[in-house]
Structure 1
Amino acid sequence: MPLTFDMPFDELLTYQGSTPRPDDFDEYWARGLTELADLPADVEITPAEFQTPFARCSHLWFTGTGGARVHAKLLAPVTPTGPAVLQFHGYTGDSGDWVDKLSYVAAGYTVAALDVRGQAGPSTQENAVAGWSMATYLLRGIDDRPDNMLYRHLFLDTARLARIVLDLDDVDPARVGATGYSQGGGLTIACAALEPRIKLAAPVYPFLSDYRRAWELDLEKAPYDEITAYFRSRDPMHLREQELFTRMGYVDVQHLAPRIQAKTVMTVSLNDRVCPPSTQFAAYNKLTCDKSYRLYPDFAHERLPGTDDAIYALLSTL
């Protein structure tokens, strides 16, 4: 195995991350899940303009924590067979076109693709935050109370979407999987951690893991330049650096990974300078479920040949 730019491969296999885990991490997420359960979902499903003879395409809306109305594309087969797939998109993106989900629907799968609030899709972002919010998304809410950090809301959105899909009449709750690239990979981990009924998880080079390590490597400006911008404006001498990264630890998926019960297959690219391999393995090494990884030694944060086919084949076992 070739050396990575990050650390030797054998060290990747044992690396445990550097972003602190807050002492009250478990209580934090227990409180979040209780808040979600107490909040009416107000689900609304309406037909989409795009339709096919074998798929019912709909807009799904629900209310998330903080009052946001969150959107997902929902595609249901005319002849359902029970399984379902949750899809999560990359940073600043959206749920994509209807047509790229039809291969699953043609096989009898229900598909739900989330539009992350505040990014390119139609979901709204209602949660106002105190303190730092200039030119940032990753750190939105960092100076507010921890329960109002944006990624806490986003992680809970994934759990709410999963619960809505699990409760659909044509979905077998024992046959639901989740997948996504980059931010979508991180949200896949969060979803499977917060909704233990997920059976299969297929994250691809997941973002949202081990923020401190990624920031210290200083390999790509975005999105970790948001952290640098915060220090320059709010803590130029880094007197609160440990405090900042401990707070980010609440929404670091490496700390959620041990909760996952789903079979998990993670795809990792060793030349990834956006989500460095050490940050990906920080999450992988904390998984205690049935797990394996797919490795692309010479690839970066880019298209990984054969990955979509491999995930389709994996999810076809649901």
Structure 2
Amino acid sequence: MNRIVFIRMFTATCGLLFLSLWGVAQTQSRSAQLIQVLVTPNKADWTYALGEEASFEVTVLKHQVPVENATVSYRIGLEKMPPTQSGEATLSSGTVVVGKKATLDTPGFLRCEVRVTVDGADYRGFATAAFAPESIQPTQQLPNDFWTFWNAAKAEAAKVPMDAKLTLLPGRGTETVDVYEVNIQNYELGTRLYGILARPKKPGKYPAVLQVPGAGIRPYAGLIELAAEGMITLQIGIHGMPVTYETGLYNDLGAGALRGYQFFNMDDRDRYYYKRVYLGCVRAIDYLYSLPEFDGNNLAVWGGSQGGALAIITTALDNRVKYLASFYPALSDLTGYLHGRAGGWPHMFNETNAPFMAKDDKIAVSAYYDVVNFARSVKVPGFYSWGYNDETCPPTSFYAAYNQIKAPKELYLVQETGHWTFPEQQIKVQEWLVAQLRR
């Protein structure tokens, strides 16, 4: 498969996930801005040893030419935390260096955020310096009965009949691929799990890819072009509703009944919203294994953000998964904010949410759903990719999870990326998945 097809696959068919597409659009938008605020760490790899001093060079461009004598304001500090340095500086020759003695003596990330006003409009740029990121350890605790809880939950869910229903979507299929909406029973009687199944028309045995979703409520198109390459693909939603309705319905639900679903019933580990989500991912694997076209062995799970979390979690929960791919996983080290550093999305214990969420019962429940506690049990090869500039899923949080993984792992680090990906990252993960599944 050539690289043009790779890029088209990921951008035209929801590829990596919805947030990746949003990120690509954001990249294009940022590059098209009249004024660009460039913040550059003084090390090419943005990575420092503990105690090493970092600094940041600031350049403001207009028409790709440095703006001289502009005044910028800057803030330097741990991501999501109050700044430890702040001030103003003048770009007397088009550039200026700030934060000359910025450093950390414990593993983590320092972010330099710069703002400037040009012709009455405000602009912003930032860069993030990593200090010994491979040594970041989680703040989250591992409950003694963590696997007792999840093994019991899986055993109960396994008793529920799958009751699978397929609806052909003839307008989405191609000459070589059939596409269906899948409707199966989830972890309790009466609960449903929906997704888009795409499988080759040609008879045979094929590997499978389960794509788990990023946060939000939306319809899904299916991974049709990947199926055309000789794979069964299943792209699932997590909210127990069909995934083929008009976008407006999902927007209404996201602003209404499902707004803040990440916090629903968090005071009870048996009723927390993500229990249905995690067990639904296992049920999706049950379904893939039930397909006669599946080769019975080669199965990968992948996603980004919330989906990056679900990829790791599903792999830990189900030893039938042979490979995983995870981009900037959410739900990682959720308790970071309670220990003076950034915690993972959905930031349930940050300054804004802590008055309502930082209660003993909710903190205790978070431990049963935190990626770091699943990451310890991952035993299969994985591909991971992210950058240091992620403001949605702070790198401190996902490194806390990543560093717990002892299985073979490949990290494709692109330092300047935030909560989005470059096409090159999308190409890399696709190449990796295809290479593993076709062994």
TM-score range, shorter chain: 0.7 to 0.9
CA distance in 1: counterparts of 2:343 and 2:292, whole angstroms: 47
Aligned pair 1:2/2:46, yes or no?
yes
Shift of 1:267: 0.9
Distance 1:159 1:284, change over 3 A: same
CA distance in 1: counterparts of 2:258 and 2:287, whole angstroms: 33
**What is the count of residue pairs matched by the alignment?**
300
Gap runs ≥5 in structure 1: 124-132
Query: Which position in structure 2 is the counterpart of 1:256?
Result: 374
Secondary structure of 2:270's partner?
Answer: helix
Distance 1:52 1:134, change over 3 A: closer
Given the two structures, how large is their TM-score scaled by the length of structure 1? 0.85
Determine if contact 2:142/2:373 at 8 Å carries over to the other structure. yes
Distance 1:293 1:115, change over 3 A: same
Equivalent residue runs for 1:61-140 within 5 Å:
61-66=183-188, 67-79=190-202, 80-94=204-218, 96-98=220-222, 101-117=223-239, 121=243, 136-140=260-264
Q: Which has the larger radius of gyration?
A: 2
Larger helix percent: 1
Shift of 1:44: 1.0
Aligned pair 1:300/2:418, yes or no?
yes
**CA offsets 1:227-270 (integer angstroms, 9 cap, x no match):** 6565434x7xx5x35x4322101011110112222211111211
Determine if contact 1:63/1:70 at 8 Å carries over to the other structure. yes
Query: Which position in structure 2 is the counterpart of 1:23?
Result: 144
Aligned pair 1:203/2:326, yes or no?
yes
Letter in 2 for 1:104: L
Shift of 1:119: 8.3
Larger strand percent: 2
Shift of 1:60: 0.7
Gap runs ≥5 in structure 2: 1-44, 49-77, 80-107, 110-129, 246-256
Equivalent residue runs for 1:1-318 within 5 Å:
1-3=45-47, 6=79, 7-8=108-109, 9-49=130-170, 50-66=172-188, 67-79=190-202, 80-94=204-218, 96-98=220-222, 101-117=223-239, 121=243, 136-144=260-268, 146-213=269-336, 217=341, 223-224=346-347, 231-233=354-356, 240-241=359-360, 243-317=361-435, 318=437
Q: Percent identity?
A: 23
Shift of 1:226: 7.8
Secondary structure of 1:283's partner?
Answer: helix
Distance 1:253 1:219, change over 3 A: closer
CA distance in 1: counterparts of 2:180 and 2:374, whole angstroms: 31
Shift of 1:28: 0.9
Secondary structure of 1:35's partner?
Answer: helix
Distance 1:228 1:47, change over 3 A: farther
CA distance in 2: counterparts of 1:139 and 1:57, whole angstroms: 34
Shift of 1:213: 1.8
Letter in 1 for 2:262: L
Distance 1:85 1:135, change over 3 A: closer
**CA offsets 1:75-110 (integer angstroms, 9 cap, x no match):** 011124511111112110446324xx2221111100
Query: Which position in structure 2 is the counterpart of 1:127?
Result: none
Determine if contact 1:219/1:274 at 8 Å carries over to the other structure. no
Determine if contact 1:202/1:264 at 8 Å carries over to the other structure. yes
Secondary structure of 2:432's partner?
Answer: helix
Letter in 2 for 1:53: E
Query: Greater CA deviation, 28-37 or 7-16?
Result: 7-16
Determine if contact 2:176/2:228 at 8 Å carries over to the other structure. yes
Q: CA RMSD in A?
A: 2.7
Letter in 2 for 1:255: N
Query: Which position in structure 2 is the counterpart of 1:128?
Result: none
Distance 1:231 1:121, change over 3 A: farther
Query: Greater CA deviation, 192-201 or 3-12?
Result: 3-12
CA distance in 2: counterparts of 1:311 and 1:29, whole angstroms: 29
Given the two structures, how large is their TM-score scaled by the length of structure 2? 0.63
